[in-house]
Chains A and B, each alone.
Chain A
Amino acid sequence: MKCFNKKPKKKIIFIMMLVISVFSLTGCSFKEFSDKFNDNFIKEQRYKYILDGLGNTFIITILAGLIGVFLGFILAVIRVTHDKKGSLKILNLVAKLYLTIIRGTPVMVQLMIIYYVIFASVNINKVLVAVIAFGLNSAAYVAEIIRSGIMSIDVGQFEAGHSLGLKYSTVMISIILPQALKNVLPALANEFITLLKETSISGYIGLSDLTRGGMIIRSITYEALFPLLLVAVIYLVLVVGLSSLVSKLERSLKKNER
């Protein structure tokens, strides 16, 4: 991705290439293209399926991301504290079990279990179910990312803190975590991007996310290519945009310290 954000010129070329390749994928003349575009998206305000879906995708991704970071953070600190100090034995066992189960099963299965089993008898907002499912799933991956970040910090930083009489929690919060988070920021952002794409399975519990919006249009117009292509392009633009934001952030962090 990096090569696309260095110079604005390259960005423009990239977008033009994208437009041309999308157009050529449809394999029709300009007239046909505009007819089909009209039929799929404009007529009866069908674009609303896409927009509403996009809204849900955003909500799910952002809230699940927040849950993931918050819970992942706690899991990571539990695991590291146990490894470094030998305390929190039971919590560590719970965390380990959690990570094994979540990372060892497909997110789609987790989503369906949460919807069809855990919340089976409750009338609950589907978006909320998706937020919980993806949040819990993401937490496991975030936990491992943050843990690897903490483990990558030289043990000397802990020792220096100890030698100054600083408590473990102070050292962790003020010295270790800021450095660890900075190191894993790209990995965390990648996890967020993965999460955004993974929410596309929300349709399996009948939730109208971006992907399902496209599928609804397809079921109306019996035309798969246009709606799905638009859905794909929207995901792509979001991911490329997020990636370039992350690399900007990375660069400014580097400037600040090193």
Chain B
Amino acid sequence: MKDNVIIHTEHLNKSYGKEVVLEDINIDIKKGEVIAVIGPSGCGKSTFIRTLNLLEKPTGGKIFFDDICITDKKTDIYDVLPKMGMVFQQFNLFNNMTIEKNITFAPIKHNLMSEEEAKAKAAELLERVGLSDKGNAYPSQLSGGQKQRVAIARALAMNPDIILFDEPTSALDPEMVNEVLNIMKELARGGMTMVIVTHEIGFAREVASRVLFIDDKGIKEDGTPKEVLDNPKSERLKSFLDSVL
């Protein structure tokens, strides 16, 4: 891994039919970075984060994870995906499984842990997200904020090298946003590499080490929160920040 680069993209393109969503994305994501991705809705920021773990198949370009080209057809992506966690806007907990099983299912399937180890890990993670008593509950019995905290625990159970957050608080009631953001802050402090698509500019300023502004199919600004959020270079970013702040 050169310079601790964990994800590296080369000329990444994504289009749906004739409609181009992302064009020529070149980026290095380094270990320990907390990257906030901001931009107007429909700009492609969700598509960007979803191409990184191949939920959306890129239509051109390459993605490297740990120097492995995951867009290469010969690569077994199921070896790589476990190292990339993802937290979704709609939580996407497995509705047919208890909270504990949601967390332990994938690590056991991948033979990362024995069942006992996985259960112990789940208990530890549930305590970390403040939901120790919910192990036997089903997702439908939880509030949105609780579901999202479980989703984070589920991602952490795989011991990932990076976690992708796709608008993790956008589907939450306002009073539940902070409980999720607090856990993410804690993760960031603990040195987890994170890419976060968010509308919470305040959170981005406080937690992120780097901010990407995506607009019009590409990354238009890239820098520290100070550079991007406080001294926007382009008119587009200025007007975007004015509209959300």
By a beta-carbon cutoff of 8 Å, the part of chain A in contact with chain B is 154, 156-157, 159-167, 170, 174-175, 178-179, 182, 257-258
Contacts and interface: CB of A to CB of B under 8 A. Distances in A.
A165 B81 CA distance: 5
- State the main secondary structure of chain A at its contact with B: helix
B140 A164 contact: no
Given A165-B82, A165-B110, A179-B95, A174 B55 contact: no
Interface stretch (B11-19, B34-42, B84-92, B193-201): B84-92
B127 to A, nearest CB: 21
26 contacts: A154-B90, A157-B94, A159-B86, A160-B88, A160-B94, A162-B53, A162-B81, A163-B53, A163-B81, A163-B85, A163-B164, A164-B105, A164-B106, A164-B154, A165-B78, A165-B80, A165-B81, A165-B110, A165-B158, A166-B78, A166-B106, A167-B78, A175-B96, A179-B96, A257-B95, A257-B96
Interface of B: 53-55, 77-82, 84-86, 88, 90-97, 105-106, 109-110, 138, 140, 154-155, 158, 164
Nearest to B88: A156
A161 B94 CA distance: 9
Given A164-B154, A167-B78, A258-B140, A178 B88 contact: no
A157 B81 contact: no
A163 to B, nearest CB: 4
Contacts of B54: 162
A257 B55 CA distance: 29
Nearest to A171: B94
A237 B122 CA distance: 50
A158 to B, nearest CB: 9
| Interchain residue pairs A-B with the least CB separation, the first 7 | A165-B81, A163-B86, A165-B82, A156-B92, A160-B92, A164-B106, A178-B96
Contact of B55 (A162, A179, A258): A162
A163 B158 CA distance: 11
Contacts of A160: 86, 88, 92-94
A164 B92 contact: no
A113 to B, nearest CB: 41
Contacts of B78: 165-167
B94 to A, nearest CB: 5
Contacts of A163: 53, 55, 81, 84-86, 88, 155, 164
B97 to A, nearest CB: 8
B53 to A, nearest CB: 6
Contacts of B138: 257-258
A156 B97 CA distance: 15
A175 B85 CA distance: 18
Contacts of A179: 95-96
Nearest to A160: B92
Nearest to B141: A258
A174 B105 contact: yes
Given A157-B92, A164-B154, A257-B138, 7 more contacts: A159-B55, A160-B86, A164-B85, A164-B106, A165-B81, A170-B109, A258-B138
A161 B151 CA distance: 12
A29 B95 CA distance: 60
A170 to B, nearest CB: 6
A164 B82 contact: yes
A156 B88 CA distance: 8
A156 to B, nearest CB: 4
**By CB atoms of chain B within 10 A, which of A159, A178, A182 has the most?**
A159
